[in-house]
Structure 1
Amino acid sequence: MRIHVLADSDTRWKWGAGLAVGLAPGSEVHAHMLRGRSTPTARQLAEVGITPSSITEATLAEFAAAPVLESADVIILGTVGGATHAALHALARRFAGAPYRPILMTGYVGVVYEKMADGLLLRAGADIVLANSPFDRRRFTEVYEPLGIPASSIVQTALPFLDERPYDPARTFAEHPYTVCFAVQPSVPADRNGRMYMLRRAISHARLRPGRDVLVKLRSKPGEATTHVEAFHYQVLAEQLDEPLPPNLHFVYGNMSQTLDRTDLLVTVSSTAALESMHRGMPTAILSDLGVREIHGNHYFTGSGCVTDWTAIDEGAAPIAHESWTVDQGIRSTDPFGELRNRIAELRGRPLPPITPYYTAASAPEYVGTLLRRRGLDPDGSPGPGAAAARSRGPMRRTSRRVLKVAYQFGVQRVAPKIQQWGGV
């Protein structure tokens, strides 16, 4: 099977590539990186651990026009809602009237805790919209059916990066001490004070528990981007502290699954890493120190039995998620790709209907026009005025864009925090 993955960040490439490999092991997987602020670096791509048959970097217009899509069996749209909707319009125009077109699939990289209706309607029109759990399937159906969108497009699966290796609570610690991993997020919390608080509590825990290793698991290095802008990088904040860090506290990068292999307690505000640790049966702490709030996403975990705080962790708390909750969240799925494989086989065996995004230039002209213009497309899905300029950019122009992106991120992560610190912000 030939599967093409469009991704706009390292996280969504990890999701799309993992989905492709899990769906059809041995498939030919092609990577298309959407050119933009969060285009992953070579290091970020290598960290995922999946090597594609080919890799390109393109605008949305360039991707939709790519000749290689003619032979694609499946296209996985691993992009934010607006880009996914624009891609549906561009691909609808590309394959209009064609006797054959690939199956279009999209979904969510992690838990869906905000803007659910907005995100679902932007993804409507794909042949398959993935729900990561029975809970999500019920919620997605409640949005689609009243609006006349076929609920048959919703297919239940599970997050493809949930590792099968179970946590062994009886293991010995000959190789390493009891290890606490604080899985950080680029934008939760978003403000400097909140992030400094989290860093200080991790440092305090390391000092209170000198027999433990405390890992601060970072998503991206200073100057790199991921799905969300990280204005106050934890490693940069640590450099601004007056006191030295305890020797048992370490900043780590790399594959999350490999980090969990040495972890005994996963601590986070609301990172998807919590689903990975819960899947393994590992103690998982969802922090409530800054409140259980929709803006933080930790409200999603209220039924898990894992909501706690740093003080309780200092005192030895190591909560285990309730079994009933993990089952409903798709964390304990025994055959995550079974239904999806069946649906793919069914769709491949018959002519596919025209691609019909939910929003059109007639039903939502302002909304659709804005979404598409931002991504270099006209309201009918054709390349917009900026597309020709984008195609003409040579290697030097692309290199300049990379330099400017790194410079911007350096300013956000290092210069701006200093200015705010001096100004007492």
Structure 2
Amino acid sequence: MPASTAKPLRVAVLADSDTRWKWGALTANRISPTEFTQPAESTGTPDGATDPDIRLDGFLLRGRATPTARQLDEVGVRADSLREVTAAEFLREMTKEPYDLLVLALVGGGVQAMLHGLAHAWQGRTERPVVVTGYVGVVYEKLADGLLLRHGADLVLANSGQDADRFRAVYEGVGADASSVTEVALPFLGGAPYEKKAPYTVVFAAQPSVPQTRADRTYLLDRLIRHARRHPEREVLLKLRSKPGEHTTHIEELPYQKLAQRQDLPANFRLVYGNMGEVLDGTDLLVTVSSTAALESLHRRVPTVVLTDLGVREALGNHHFVGSGCLASWDQLDAGHEPVPDPWWVARQGVAVGSRYAAAFDTARRRIAELLAAGELPPLKPYYTPVTAPGYLPGVLARHHLAPDGSPLPGAPAADKAPSPVRQIVRRAARGAYRHGVQRVAPVIRRMGEL
């Protein structure tokens, strides 16, 4: 976009959950090349406000994790417009509206489907938005699978120098173009540096799917409660991501809320919701298994612990924190241990502070500005095609009602107008049935199978 234009940058974000909406919208604000109107060292809008030089339209991909109004309000990220769409509706929208930048904040399969769908929808067009994708947080599993499903975007964002090196190695290792990999940082880092407060507050950042078993989740809850009883002078908070019946990025079969109902909770123990940044404002010790909240906490220099009680294992994701200096157990915490993070490790994870953090997005802004200035962009070319992955790609696309060539399949759900009241009721009932099956029926069946 030329520097002389007075029009705001038109940005679209497609997300499939509350956490990905937060990442996508904040990323859009961080990487949009508004250096034409603001200095490059600007820290963007971490409080969730939309940059006045950006017109941000949000799209929520309809599915099992489509966020509720409460979840969206908790995220705190505002947009000029926000609506729910099917894949077919979104693709059709992208052929009508002249966007400058598109951020795909989706699970890997969703990104791949949209890349092929957009390539089909934009056939013959030389003017199209710059397409960007990436990861919400720590990449500790399915590295090759997730990366190759994201290949084909103009920019694939890496949240740290370590991730950028790993991403390029994967692409180059399969003979794919690695030039799209662009180092940035997590877009939601921010807030005031840590200062000790009274009363001393310990926060356990829960995760929907880590750990998975009832025994492990009950153990962690019991240890948190025991810590509260052992230290009655402390406030002990269990920070929850979603309420029962809501879904986020991952499925939560055993919500801590339900496990806590069976416990005699001490007076200094509370369950809390809300924006993680606001919770960190009053935190003196952040404890987690492997949540990205640990990186938010480290960014603000809040004492941070990654638990080793259940082992240091790839299945838990806490292996990512080997070398961080943050690994510790509940026994150590009960005895008063506070970790000291390793500066080199923290820097490699993109947890820079001050001007270094603001500058983390400069390269992405510059690359996007160059692509916009070019006026014409080549067709999207994902690594996966009917030639390179004939036994895999069709299934990925079919889940989003797309044919192997990216065209909508006959009968793909799409509508030119909002669904009728009856259709909305049926949709809500179907989601409720799915969530009931995940959180109530599935655990029972699994326990029966273990008898």
TM-score band, normalised by shorter chain: over 0.9
Structure 2 partner of 1:7:
15
Residue 415 of structure 1 deviates from its aligned partner by: 5.7
Structure 1 residue 419, shift from structure 2 partner: 7.5
- Structure 1 counterpart of 2:338, one-letter code: A
Query: What is the rounded CA distance, in whole Å, between the counterparts of 2:137 and 2:413 in structure 1?
Result: 35
User: Which of 311, 316, 327 pairs up with 2:347?
Assistant: 327
Partner of 1:248: 268
Which of 272, 279, 285 matches 2:299? Answer: 279
Aligned counterpart, 1:142:
169
How far is 1:416 from its partner?
5.4
Aligned to 2:420: 394
- Contact 1:223 1:407 (C-alpha < 8 Å) held by counterparts: no
State whether residues 228 and 236 of structure 2, in contact with CA within 8 Å, keep that contact through their aligned partners in structure 1.
Answer: yes
The whole-number CA distance in structure 2 between the counterparts of 1:391 and 1:237 is 44
Within the candidate set 371, 390, 404, 1:379 is matched to: 404
CA distance in 1, matches of 2:213, 2:440: 14
Q: Deviations over 1:322-373 (max 9, x none)?
A: 1110111111143121111111111111121110111111221221110011
2:369 equivalent in structure 1: 345
> Could you tell me which residue of structure 2 aligns to residue 298 of structure 1?
318
Name the TM-score, length of structure 2 as normaliser.
Answer: 0.89
Cα distance in 2 between the residues matched to 1:227 and 1:78: 11
Query: Residues of 2 paired with 1:419 and 1:252: CA distance?
Result: 30
Conserved? CA contact 2:88–2:413, under 8 Å: no
- Quick check: 1:132–1:158 contact (8 Å CA) kept in 2? yes
Alpha-carbon deviation of 1:62?
1.4
Shift of residue 48, structure 1, vs aligned partner: 1.3
**Residue 16 in structure 1 maps to residue 24 in structure 2:** yes
Paired positions, count: 418
TM-score w.r.t. the length of structure 1 is 0.94
Cα distance in structure 2, aligned partners of 1:338 and 1:297: 29
| Residues 282 and 320, structure 1, Cα contact 8 Å, conserved in 2 | no
Query: Which aligned segments of 4 or more residues in structure 1 are displaced greater than 4 angstroms?
Result: 388-393, 414-425
* Structure 1 residue identity aligned to 2:216: G
Cα displacement string for residues 391-420 of structure 1 (whole angstroms, at most 9, x for unaligned residues): 795342233222221233234335655787
What residue in structure 1 maps to residue 134 of structure 2? 107
Letter in 1 for 2:17: S
Structure 1 Cα separation of the partners of residues 416 and 404 of structure 2: 19
The reply on whether 1:71 has 2:98 as its aligned counterpart is: yes
Question: Structure 1 residue 61: deviation in Å?
Answer: 1.6
Residue 123 (1) aligns with residue 143 (2): no
Alignment of 1:309-320 (within 5 A): 309-320=329-340
Judge conservation of contact 2:197–2:284 (CA < 8 Å) in 1.
no
Counterparts of 2:342 and 2:207, CA distance in 1: 24
Q: Are the aligned partners of 2:122 and 2:128 in contact in 1 as well (CA < 8 Å)?
A: yes
C-alpha separation in 1, matches of 2:58 and 2:248: 17
Matched to 2:420, the amino acid is G
| Amino acid paired to 1:42 | A
Give the structure 2 partner of residue 207 of structure 1. Answer: 229
1:96, 1:354 within 8 Å by CA — same for their partners in 2? yes
Q: 1:410 and 2:427 equivalent? A: no
Aligned letter for 2:307?
Answer: L
Identity of matched residues, %? 54
Matches within 5 A, 1:153-302: 153-168=180-195, 171-173=196-198, 177-241=199-263, 244-302=264-322
C-alpha separation in 2, matches of 1:391 and 1:187: 36
The residue type paired with residue 237 of structure 1 is: L
- Contact kept, 8 Å, 1:236 with 1:414, in 2: the verdict is no
- Farther-moved stretch of structure 1 (298-307 vs 414-423): 414-423
